[in-house]
Chain A
Amino acid sequence: MDKLIKLFEDVARLWSKYSSFYLDGMKNTLILALVATAIGCVIGLVCGVLNTIPYSKNDNIIKRFFLALIRVLVRIYVEVFRGTPMVLQAVFIFYGLPYFTDNAMRFDDLWTAAILIVSINTGAYMAESVRGGIISIDPGQTEGAKAIGMTHVQTMTNVILPQALRNIMPQIGNNFIINVKDTSVMFIIGFTEFFAFHRYITGVNMLYFPSAAIEMIGYLTMTLLASFLLRWVEKLMDGSSSYELVQVDSLTMSAGNYSHPGKPFAEQNKEKKHLFRGRKRGEQDE
């Protein structure tokens, strides 16, 4: 119990002194994760879509060659960036570019470097998710679209991708949450995200455990918030679970239910209105 009280005291002390650092770190972490996930999704979407363009033996050789080439390139990209640790990729790219170009190309801005590295990494995972999302859609959907004369692009944009994107939403959320946590390795290139401040603060006062407690709570808050938001977005995408019956459709309305104001037809009008109401309330007609 004493220990817990002491922990609370230490946490409170740290927080009162360094809260602006922690909050700043959280802000940086969230921005980096959000931007990099978004860019990663775009990269993944492009790779996934390019990767699933169908081709058959009947297509001409140039088209087949290019599509095969694209598939190989995407495959290499995915395998390399999915198969190596992000912390190493960060070092590799951040120090590798100036090394190879004799400092002609280097990152003056840590944000650019961090966003680039995390985006490329996310894109590799998303490429596979998008591909999976596209091939998981029932082939009947494609056939239905083709049967009314849609081209491959039209089929993709109007029918397949909206459904595929809905299906990979949990995967996008997964990647975002992973990014919130895994951007912590960006301290290696000096990027000041949430975890980097932990290293900085504990370097000054040695309160490792209380600071780690703050970090744990901070990360958990961010990821729980993200989970909650993602569920909400998914619900929005699903649309309403019920639908309105349109009892009287617009075409019959325009001609049939007009009642002329005026005396001679007063009686008739009443009757018509009555009929109309009865029809609206009654069951839908065949």
Chain B
Amino acid sequence: MSEQILEVKHLSKNFGKNQVLKDIDFTVNKGDTISIIGASGSGKSTLLRCINLLETPTAGEIWYRGKNVADRKVKAHEYRSHVGMVFQSFNLFNNLTVLENCIVGQRKVLKKSKQEAKETAMYYLDKVGMAPYINARPRQLSGGQKQRVAIARALAMNPEVLLFDEPTSALDPEMVGEVLAVMQQLAQEGMTMLVVTHEMAFARDVSSRVVYMNDGVICEQGSPADVFGNPQKQETKDFLARFRNT
């Protein structure tokens, strides 16, 4: 069996009286590409944000390297530097150029030298095809380009897991492809990835495991072939049928 990186135990999250996540159990192994699918409001993004501690879980544990990071005593920023995140709205730093965006974290958080940080940044920017744009500022890039830079920025921190929160949902249709291509390449190279997505083709073709969430619980999970080809639960069937119709 491959090495286990993250283990989520009995995770719950309430926003006021509204329980968004209900007792979630979930593991991530090294090299997994897990797609989390489900209708809007089913708790997919909240799960991802809880894993990165951008939302504080109401109850439950998140185990990473023998530590429960949901515990208040663990320093969230230290843990986050091992878990990369790519957002729906890119969240590139608007005051910095493309290259500086990929360097600032390495310099300030990982305390790398200027030269080393630049080389790492250039390596990943080249990988996502954004090396020619290092002097551009975020406002001068298209959505797809911004998202590719955001992926490079996350990769430059050399994370163990990369979380994608609907990375293509804010993109124009013609730009979805370039971002998915980068993600597919990462998956093939063995990057551990957790992807919240509405791109069913990506979930089916690229991921090693598909998780279907419904109403704050994990309704069904398994290999893409099982979940898409032979769904067991009625909710999953309905959800997938709706997708095929549109």
Interface residues of A (CB under 8 A from B): 56, 58, 138, 140-141, 143-151, 154, 158-159, 162-163, 166, 239, 242-247, 249-252, 284, 286
Q: Which chain A residues border B136 with CB–CB below 8 Å?
A: 243
Q: Mark B148-169, 1 if CB is under 8 A from A, else 0.
A: 0010011001000000000000
B interface bracket (residues with beta carbon within 8 Å of A)? 35 or more
| Chain A contacts for B87, CB-based, 8 A | 140, 143-144, 147
Name the interface residues of B126-140: CB closer than 8 Å to any CB of A.
Answer: 126, 129, 131-137, 140
What are 25 A-B residue pairs whose CB atoms fall within 8 Å in the complex?
Answer: A56-B56, A140-B89, A140-B90, A140-B91, A141-B94, A144-B90, A144-B91, A145-B93, A146-B80, A147-B54, A147-B91, A148-B154, A149-B78, A149-B79, A149-B157, A150-B77, A158-B93, A158-B104, A159-B93, A159-B104, A163-B94, A243-B133, A246-B135, A251-B119, A251-B126
Q: Which residues of B contact A141 (CB under 8 A)?
A: 91, 93-94
Let me know if A159 and B95 touch, CB within 8 A.
yes
Residues of B within 8 A of A (CB): 52, 54, 56, 72, 76-82, 84-85, 87, 89-97, 104-105, 108-109, 119, 122-123, 125-126, 129, 131-137, 140, 150, 153-154, 157
The minimal Cβ–Cβ distance linking B184 to chain A, given in whole angstroms, is 15
Expressed in whole angstroms, the minimum distance between the Cβ of B235 and any Cβ of chain A is 31
Query: Do A249 and B133 form a contact, CB below 8 Å, given A149-B81, A151-B77?
Result: no
B84 touches which one: A147, A158, A162, A247 (CB < 8 A)?
A: A147
Using A147-B87, A159-B95, A244-B135 as known contacts, list a sample of 12 further A-B pairs with CB atoms less than 8 Å apart, ordered by residue number in A: A144-B92, A147-B52, A147-B54, A147-B154, A148-B105, A148-B109, A150-B109, A162-B95, A239-B137, A246-B134, A249-B125, A251-B119
CB of B192, distance to nearest CB on chain A (Å):
16
Q: A159 contacts which chain B residues (CB < 8 A)?
A: 93, 95-96, 104
Note all chain B residues with C-beta closer than 8 A to A162: 95
Find chain A residues with CB under 8 A from B82 CB.
149
10 smallest CB-CB distances across A and B, nearest first, come from A149-B81, A144-B91, A148-B105, A147-B85, A249-B131, A140-B91, A243-B136, A162-B95, A149-B109, A149-B80
Q: Which residues of A contact B80 (CB under 8 A)?
A: 146-149
Given contacts A149-B109, A149-B157, contact A251 B91 (CB under 8 A): no
How many angstroms between the C-alpha atoms of A286 and B181 in the bound complex?
Answer: 12
Q: Which residue of B lies closest to A158 (CB)?
A: B104
Of listed B108, B134, B157, residue having the most chain A CB within 10 A: B108
Which residues of chain B come closer than 8 Å to A145, judged between CB atoms? 93
Contact at B140–A246, with CB atoms within 8 Å?
A: no
With A163-B94, A249-B132, A251-B126 in contact, is A148–B137 under 8 Å at CB? Answer: no
Q: Please, which residues of chain A bring their CB within 8 A of the CB of B85?
A: 147
Looking across the interface, which residue of chain A has its beta carbon closest to that of B178? A286
Q: Is the CB of B129 within 8 A of A286?
A: yes
